[in-house]
Amino acid sequence: MAEQEQEYIGVNKVDAFISPMSGVPVIVCYLEDGREFNLFYVPPDIVNAINKLMKNESNDSGNQSELARRETVYDIISFIPEIIDELQKRVTQVTIDDILDDIYLATVELNFGGLIIQKRMIPSHAIYLALLTGKPIRVKKELVDRSAERSNKS
């Protein structure tokens, strides 16, 4: 575990929003070491689901059309306590641990009575699962460092 702690940085807090300047959906992971790890162009449904889950819903729901107020699969999952309970038993952690052609990849670790199964996921979806279940989120230090280097160059 000590090796994993050095290789990964824990996430203390998550924010999800649509950037007012660019209209780009963003998830910001605030890391234990004081840095931020940003995921851009995430699905807007995930931004909404994370905000509903964290009770950060926007107050302009009166301005939304009927179509925009449709429920999503995230709403249904968070509405059924038995699903959440089962996920809490199974999900052990989420890691954002790889990149392929500028697209981040995440791994969700599931425990089935001692049998550990790792599944590749879209990072924003994996973050939602971790927030829903109260499980830790970690980001591979190499990805954070690479992201910081890119930000400094632009």
Position 73 scores a pLDDT of 93
Q: What is the mean pLDDT of the chain?
A: 89
Res. 61: pLDDT tops 50: no
What's the CATH number for 2-59+82-153? 3.10.690.10
- For the chain, domain boundaries: 2-59+82-153
Listed in sequence order, the residues at least 6 apart from 52 whose beta carbon sits closer than 8 Å to its beta carbon are 74, 75, 78
Residues present in the chain in total: 154
User: Which of 18-27, 30-39, 65-74, 85-94 is the least confident region?
Assistant: 65-74
Distance from chain centroid for Cα 63: 27
Q: What is the reported pTM?
A: 0.88
Residue 152's pLDDT band, with cuts at 50, 70 and 90, is confident
- Report the pLDDT averaged over residues 49-55: 93
Tell me how far apart the alpha carbons of residues 105 and 144 are, in angstroms, rounded to a whole number: 13
Res. 128: pLDDT tops 70: yes
